[in-house]
Amino acid sequence: MSVLFASSEIYPYAKSGGLADVADALPEALKKSINISRVMPLYSFMDVKKFKLYTSYSVKIATIVYDIEVFSLKKNEITSYFIKAPHLSTTEMMYGSKESDYENNDLRFALFSMAIVKLAQELDIKVLHLNDWHTALAALYVKEFALNIRVIFTIHNLAYQGLFAEHTLCKIGLNKKYFHLDALEFYNKVNFLKAGIAYSDVVTTVSPTYAKEILTREFGCGLDGFLNYHKEKLYGILNGINVTRFNASKDKMIVHNYDRNSLEKKHDNKIDFIQHSTLKDPRKPLFVMVARLVQQKGISLILDSFEELVSQNINLFILGEGDKTISQKFTMLALQHSNFEYFDGYDEALSHKTYAAADFVLIPSIFEPCGLTQLIAMEYGAIPIVHAVGGLKDSVYENGTLCGEGIVYENQNREEFLFAIQRALKLKKNGKKLKKKRVHNMGCDFSFTPSALEYLKLYKSEL
Ligand code: ADP
Ligand code: GLC
């Protein structure tokens, strides 16, 4: 069976969040069982010299013919294809500037989707695995061209739907018949994500709990009715991580490698981390957060609880990039509090060092389709503190014996969050109990292997 996995980002070529990690880890976990390749855009910041020209073709969108070049690279036995197309490959960033998305993202990702389908035909692909709205139109094209390709569509985050004004239909040459409620129309706009939901054979999302949540008004982002209509083909499969890349005993990005039997070296990472920061005293519990700075990640709760949080005898470090107003607030707060440091930017190596140094990782998300930071935290022996939603609820347990163990609060409010912090501080004082939890978590399997089997069944239409 030949599978093509399509994503707008794949680690290490381009990454803005967990999607890139999944696009790295899931095909890795599947490669032993099936013939799988990947496809993503060739962005202008990528070094094309590292890739080989594989093929070229043209695609027609509306009345215009666009020349496409497809580059490729085989690494770890998986071939990745990179689509070089007008508009798609000429922007400075992937999706837009910090202020706004690119105006022609409709055309850019329609081109990408059309190029994916053409490549799938050239490669004689039997299963096309699409991810998020950037690839969703490919599901529609497969149906429109009546191709014999099974399409799986994964929703990584329902909050991002690819919404455009009605004239997008004309711009990307889509028949008016698609502008109705059962297809792409969404409150008078064109919704790309709906194409993925409507025209795929199977729709998945990234945790069992999120698969249930998105059928409700609270989490459905306006699509709960539409998803309920399609729920017979909806599955929730928990993400995993690439445990070769996120591996405390081999990670080249951290200073001292360690495993569950040498946790004292985790403390050496903390000492090193504190020395290289504005923080003082590595004996203090170190709370960290590594996240895109968007409201989804529970920023309001952090800000509401901030004074009380930093008045504890702790160190707090936040690594995050995103919303300008949020980063400005954190920058100000860091100037006022010597036990709080904020790093404004995206830095993969620093994120690894942060997990290796941390005692506790804060994940107070309002909603979280899956979340990978709790899994990475546990892999590095740090204890996650999570709001019981989505994939956080499916992967972190308090007072249990299940993999993995952390601190879980039920309701998104200041009292419950700060009480969770108190439980963390109590745990920190009980060295034996803390060590037991760390050792337990570091022995758990957070890889993609178990979930890859679920995807395999869907590819083979066995579920
Ligand atoms: P999301 O996809 O919603 O951003 P996930 O928890 O699924 O959330 O994945 C986030 C990924 O991005 C993790 O690998 C995390 O370590 C990484 N990450 C987030 N922010 C940063 C940052 N500022 N610098 C480095 N890595 C980051
Ligand atoms: C999205 C979600 C996150 C998930 C990631 C990978 O960005 O916000 O919860 O872990 O995709 O599936």
Q: Please tell me the predicted confidence (pLDDT) of residue 401.
A: 77
Question: CA–CA separation, 372 vs 368, rounded Å?
Answer: 10
Tell me, using a 6 A CB cutoff, whether residue 372 lines ligand 2: yes
Tell me, using a 6 A CB cutoff, whether residue 131 lines ligand 2: no
Q: Distance, CA 429 to ligand 1 centroid (Å)?
A: 29
Retrieve residue 111's tokens. Answer: 């081109």
DSSP run (H or E) holding 54: strand 52-61
Contact 194, 203 (CB under 8 A): no
CA 368, 113, 152, 181 torsion-angle sign: positive
Which ligand is in closest contact with the Cα of 393?
2
DSSP run (H or E) holding 39: strand 35-41
Q: Please tell me the predicted confidence (pLDDT) of residue 407.
A: 98
Q: Distance, CA 423 to ligand 2 centroid (Å)?
A: 27
Alpha helices in 324-413 (DSSP H): 324-336, 348-357, 373-379, 390-395
Tell me, using a 6 A CB cutoff, whether residue 366 lines ligand 2: no
Question: CA–CA separation, 7 vs 109, rounded Å?
Answer: 11
DSSP secondary structure code for residue 356 in this structure: H
Q: Please tell me the predicted confidence (pLDDT) of residue 267.
A: 97
Q: Tokens 């202020």 correspond to what residue?
A: 99
DSSP reduced 3-state for 11? coil
Question: CA–CA separation, 31 vs 445, rounded Å?
Answer: 18
Q: Distance, CA 289 to ligand 1 centroid (Å)?
A: 10
CA 121, 123, 127, 133 torsion-angle sign: negative
What distance lies between CA 103 and its chain's CA centroid?
23
Q: Distance, CA 14 to ligand 1 centroid (Å)?
A: 12
Mean per-residue pLDDT pooled into runs of 10, the chain (463 residues): 97 97 98 98 97 98 97 98 98 92 97 98 98 98 98 98 98 97 98 98 98 98 98 98 98 98 97 97 97 97 98 98 95 98 97 98 98 98 98 94 93 98 98 97 97 97 75
Q: Please tell me the predicted confidence (pLDDT) of residue 463.
A: 63
Question: CA–CA separation, 31 vs 87, rounded Å?
Answer: 32
Which ligand is in closest contact with the Cα of 317?
1
Question: CA–CA separation, 244 vs 247, rounded Å?
Answer: 6
Question: CA–CA separation, 405 vs 135, rounded Å?
Answer: 35
Retrieve residue 400's tokens. Answer: 């249990």
Q: Distance, CA 348 to ligand 1 centroid (Å)?
A: 9
Q: Please tell me the predicted confidence (pLDDT) of residue 229.
A: 98
Q: Please tell me the predicted confidence (pLDDT) of residue 387.
A: 98
Tell me, using a 6 A CB cutoff, whether residue 18 lines ligand 1: yes
Tell me, using a 6 A CB cutoff, whether residue 347 lines ligand 1: yes
Tell me, using a 6 A CB cutoff, whether residue 384 lines ligand 1: no
DSSP reduced 3-state for 3? strand
Query: What does the H/E/C string look like for 160-222?
Result: CCCEECCCHHHHCCCCHHHCCCCCCEECCEEEHHHHHHHHCCEEEECCHHHHHHCCCCCCCCC
Retrieve residue 106's tokens. Answer: 């409709």
Q: Distance, CA 373 to ligand 2 centroid (Å)?
A: 10
DSSP run (H or E) holding 114: helix 105-122
